Structure 1
Amino acid sequence: MANQATTTYKVTGSRKAVSDLWKTLQGMNVNTKNVWLNELADFYGIDYGAKQISVRGHIYWAEYEEDDENTLLSFETESAWDACTELFEEINHHLHDELSISYRVCECGCEVYYVHDEGSFFPEECCVSSNGKPFEDAYDDVYDTVKDAINEWVSKTGIEQGERTEEQMVDFINEYEYENEETYFYIRVFTFE
């Protein structure tokens, strides 16, 4: 597979529609094996080839929560290059447009970081990828604020922000050259759609 995008989805809506998608995923043995997106499209009768919808990826985890008032289906995908949101829009059409679909996409190879949030599920401003001392190895750990991520870097390196703005500091951190070439700490700010 090409560069992989990791996407976290939060799906709400009518109990019937959310439950339908969850039961479909359970029937495809989600959480015990990968649910391939092309197989999910086939299940719902979506001609992804004709509609030019990417289905290159899989769901590797899902969880369903229900109480008296709300239903929430959460799941995560790995897909090629970017999120496969068009597929889930088509599934929503199949389920009578009764779903509200929010998602957060992280794809470090192409620096794709964005959020589409219809329900205040993803308030975090950025994520960090890091490797090597003095950092912990991290792959797209989310931070509530850019300032929190900057403070993490400052606490590990001892280099102060000084008069730099947050934007200048993010650029400084992302371009910083460490003694070990394998060491890095990148702050990626989410774009909110």
Structure 2
Amino acid sequence: MTAAEAAALPPEDRPAWYRPPQPYAEGNAEHLGPGHRSPRVYSRVAAALVGGLVESRPDLAAHPEALASWADAEARAALLRYYLDEVGMIDEQTGETRETLLRNLDRFERRASDARQRLGLDPRSEAELALLRARAMREGQLTPQIDLGQLAAQGRAVLDSAADPVRAALDRVRAEAAEVAQTHDTNADDREATQ
């Protein structure tokens, strides 16, 4: 007899093994547990993580798939950590470790760590990505992202300022040259006096 057939029988004729499905209302979280297997829970956490990261690192918005993978793993790991902090790693009823949850936590932590490295979210990978970008720019494989409007506004601001930047640079170079010449003349006078 299948569960569907048992459900069609009157309650007193159903077999002992049959348990009718529990009618849970929309939004019920009674049997949710950690939430790492519920898309309605971890997707909200992941969306918040992506939003916060893109706000501080807008360059990563060009890689939505990588961000989604990182945020999914990070959110699930965070939910598992929170749950294990609440209930403990050892089941109080059986006295055994919560192996399945700990294995899942380890799996999601590794996925999150790998994704962090790929996105440059840890110190070492951030430095490596910066070096690769610099090398690519130096070799002409990557053009810098320049906002021409912002560059023009900066140029106008410099030109509109009271001091002429070209004249200021020339004056600074002339002053440095005069200082070097004076030092050279002073050293030559000192040498002549000692001879």
TM-score by length of 2: 0.23
Greater relative contact order (CA < 8 Å, ≥ 6 in sequence): 1
Q: Which has the higher helix share?
A: 2
TM-score by length of 1: 0.23
